[in-house]
Structure 1
Amino acid sequence: MAVREKFDYDLKELQNKLLEIGRSAEEALTKALGALETKNVELALQIMEEDSKINLMYEEINDFAILLIAKQQPVAIDLRRIIVGIKIATEIERIADFAVNIAKATIRIGNKSYTHPIFQIKKMHTLTTEMLQLSLKAYTEEDILLAKKVAGMDNEVDDIYDLTMKQLLEENQKNPDYVQQITHFTFICRFLERAADHITNIAENVYYLVKGRHYDLNK
């Protein structure tokens, strides 16, 4: 295999590894929402246990990317592809951490009936997972229009977050006996909002990959 052909193969392998860790993070988020909906402590514990696999995948991606730089000494667009790969892996690892945080909050809430409906949290989750799928599609296709769409969806998540936080604060005043549960719901909303921000960072890295410049899509 020629040197360039081998390098292209390795770049594709890096991309595949990123897609794999992305799918794992999305699965973790979906399981976290499922655990919250069903008050399933066992599922929440499973998410926490599986996070170690995602952490290992993250470390393997970093090692693989660093080895590529050391062996190939790439420049221009090839170097950007590797750097962006490292950055995206970092964002995805953080997203998976937020899934773990949601699982922990679910365990702390316990089996009590919910004083506040979680349909808006479900909407935030749906948007966040769709954003993650689109951001990775934008990355693989190097499509800045898709990346821009991801940033627009982040604004939707922010709007739902603001509305839900306001409602939870009002609920806290009406039902002071549920203050601990409501507090955990505010944390869960925050975890989803932050996950969406990290996904927007992936979209920003797509812009950097394609344009060679940094863009702030969180404005």
Structure 2
Amino acid sequence: MTSTHPRPSTPSGGSAGAPAGLRSSRGARAVLVLAVALLLVLLVRTFVVQTFSIPSDSMQPTLRPGERVLVWRVDAPEVRRGDVVVFDGTGTFVDAPPDPQGLAAVGAGIAGLLGFRPGESDFVKRVVGLPGDRITCCDDRGRLLVDGEPLEEPYLQPGDAPSDVRFDIAVPPGRLWVMGDHRSDSADSRSHLGSPGGGTVALGDVIGRVVAVTWPLDAVGTVARGSGS
């Protein structure tokens, strides 16, 4: 008589190969790695860098409308004269919107924690005056004066004067005087002399410094820091 041997059975719902426990462990590790990677991306976006789109002509020729820029978050002491910065103009350049209610408030809070911003109140300008500076327009050659010394501005849009608006302002502590590079087409600190802060922006409202253009490809490059002089 020929004896028969039963064939090894495969666990229900499984397949031959790695044990079910090992496959489950690999899957858990993959999920964990994905979660950690996502968390790192969110942390970097929230605390290190963000991207913004340039909405207008006000920063030409340095930045053109539609370009995407990379913004490095900075602490207040790191801001220099000449830096190109993105800031929240709520309460200075634009009116504060109504406070969100209910689910909208929860969503806004979560979005803020994750580094996502609505964008309507965000502006990009160049720092011209630091806290304590006296900024004056202009000397007999049409140049801006910082504490009585002429400011050289090689970044200006060709053909533009440093300013067609006359002003003389002492920048308050903890605030900045900001202007666009395309002075004849920029609603900047000069346009808000009668607003709270006299057109200046709080250091705490600075989101970060523009460090590079990332799009389109023909514009990719770094954005130089201010000289501080």
Largest Rg, 1 or 2:
2
TM-score range, shorter chain: under 0.3
* TM-score, length basis structure 1: 0.26
More strand by share: 2
More helix by share: 1
